[in-house]
């Protein structure tokens, strides 16, 4: 078994440590020395205590992750306006439809996050992931062309997720 470095023993999950410390300071609305010392202690203790429960953390690429974050954030804002206009307008303009998005990979994090992004984006809801069948069932509030919607979702969300997690694509995974 490989021996952990001193840094890894003290900070098993550095991002969690930073987040815990920052959250403590924000909750206290203070940067007094006592609060900073407490934030450092919390940043060291919480991740150390939670390390056994985090079995493995995937290696991710941060460039595509940040780009995907802002893409999803932009889409949420824009689609909120589109959905509001649809819902407040005449109901006859709505064309709700169910369709399936074929998955490019069997990578669980990629597929779970794709389903979550679909559900988070206004106007679409993922109803379920079928790993055996290799698709996600999606309900869209208004879609005239399901194939175009599938292509958009795959291009804007699935491909970046595959890059982020370096997931293998294709049938034999």
pLDDT in tens, 145-172: 999 999 999 999 999 999 999 888 875 4
> How far is residue 83's CA from residue 145's CA, in Å, rounded to a whole number?
17
User: How would DSSP label each residue in 119-156?
Assistant: HHSTTEEEEEEETTTTEEEEEESS-S-HHHHHHHHIII
Q: Domain-by-domain residue ranges, the chain?
A: 6-53, 62-165
User: Which pTM does this prediction carry?
Assistant: 0.72
* pLDDT of 93 above 60: yes
Cβ–Cβ under 8 Å, residues 36 and 25: yes
97-102 and 135-140: which strand pairing?
Answer: antiparallel
β-bridge partners, 135 = 102, 130
Show contacts of 86-92: CB within 8 Å, 24+ apart.
86/123, 86/141, 86/142, 87/141
Query: What average pLDDT score do residues 60-84 get?
Result: 94
pLDDT at 8: 73
* Cα gap 96→85, rounded to integer Å: 15
**How many C-beta atoms surround the C-beta of residue 12 within 10 A?**
19
Q: How far apart are CA 108 and CA 96, in angstroms?
A: 28
Torsion angle defined by CA atoms of residues 33, 36, 37 and 40, in that order, rounded to the nearest 10 degrees: -160
Q: How confident is the model at residue 55 (pLDDT cuts 50, 70, 90)?
A: low
């Amino acid at each position: 078994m490989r021996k952990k470095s001193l840094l890894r023993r003290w900070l098993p999950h550095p991002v969690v440590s930073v987040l815990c410390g920052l959250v403590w300071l924000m909750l206290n609305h203070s940067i007094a020395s006592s609060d900073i010392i407490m934030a450092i202690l919390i940043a060291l203790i919480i991740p150390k205590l939670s390390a056994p429960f985090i079995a493995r953390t995937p290696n991710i690429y941060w460039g595509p992750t940040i780009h995907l974050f802002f893409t999803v954030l932009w889409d949420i804002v824009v689609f909120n306006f589109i959905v509001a206009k649809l819902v407040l307008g005449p109901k006859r303009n709505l064309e709700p439809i169910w369709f399936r998005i074929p998955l490019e990979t069997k990578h669980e994090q990629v597929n779970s996050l794709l389903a979550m992004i679909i559900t988070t984006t206004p106007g679409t809801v993922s109803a379920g992931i079928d790993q055996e069948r290799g698709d996600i069932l999606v309900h869209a509030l208004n879609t005239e062309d399901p194939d175009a919607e599938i292509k958009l979702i795959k291009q804007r969300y699935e491909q970046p997720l595959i890059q982020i997690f370096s997931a293998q694509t294709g049938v034999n995974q």
